[in-house]
Structure 1
Amino acid sequence: MTDQSSPVRQWRVPSVLPVAKLAGAVLVTGLGLLFAGGDRIQLVLAVAAGAVLAGWGVRDLVAPVRVAVDPEGITLIRGFAGRQRLPWAAVEAITVDRRSRAGLATEILEIDTGESLHLFGRYDLDAAPADVAAALRAARLQGGGPA
């Protein structure tokens, strides 16, 4: 998160996640090469899994900011590393979905535009989704949008 006194706030992926994903990609690929023993299918699967993890890690490096807010609206990540600007008038609801399963509780920030639903978890935001939702609602009120 950036400085709270700034007119623009950002929530981004924790810096340790891309490193962990890239290290996992190297590990999975290395283990696949080491233990494939001439089995092409096992080798292809290990390389494919490594490539997916590497792509996921690269996305976090290229576009670490998932949500940014200012008085005029919200900017969200879209696709692999694109951005989508949403003025406050386009945002219908900002909610937090809380679920409990197998003794684990999860929270997901939901930004509903009517035409699309944008979902962000704790590891997308490096903050509790409820805290981000409260900050977005406060920025929306300051920007003159509906509560």
Structure 2
Amino acid sequence: MRPERIPESSTAERQWRVPASVPVVKLFGAAVLVGLGLLFAEGDRVRLVLASAAAVGLAGWAARDLLVPVRLAVDPAGITVVRGFAGRRRLAWDTVEAITVDRRPRLGLSTEILEIDVGDSLHLFGRYDLDAPPGEVAEALRAAHGEAP
């Protein structure tokens, strides 16, 4: 006898992740930094060390994107967010105080940041953390919780 399958709509987990192209661009940028450091060092080790240090930082940032690509997940019990370099934090729905989107114009462009407020901490996610517009993600989170948009 096969176990009964639970409909996906009732227990489905939805995830938002870093786009696959982002860590590739970061790794390419790290390689370019090392190349520029070698090209323009002209025997000066300080320039090479600075370029290499920046490249290592950028490569570490790319490693985080590769190790923990899922930045945000939601299910009927709550929200899971990335914490620290590669950790996760589970937020039960009763701890979530607000889900908002902060929109700000800057240099002629408009930026959106998804904010999840749990009282003792504020979790922020941009477009390149979610691979989706933060406004759409906020609506999906509210719908998963059963709130009106």
State TM-score, norm by structure 1.
0.91
SS at match of 1:33: helix
For 1:106-117, list aligned pairs within 5 A. Answer: 106-117=111-122
Runs of 4+ in 1 over 6 A off after TM superposition: 3-6
Distance 1:75 1:88 in 2: 10
Measured on the aligned residues, the alpha-carbon RMSD in Å equals: 2.0
The corresponding residue for 1:101 is 106
Distance 2:69 2:22 in 1: 10
Distance 1:98 1:30 in 2: 37
2:128 aligned residue (123, 126, 132): 123
Distance 1:90 1:30 in 2: 48
Give 1:4 shift: 8.0
CA contact (8 A) 1:140 1:146 kept: no
Number of equivalences: 142
In structure 1, stretches of 5+ residues that fail to align are: none
* Greater gyration radius: 2
State TM-score, norm by structure 2.
0.90
In structure 2, stretches of 5+ residues that fail to align are: 1-7
Distance 2:85 2:10 in 1: 30
The corresponding residue for 2:34 is 29
> What amino acid sits opposite 1:30 in the alignment?
G
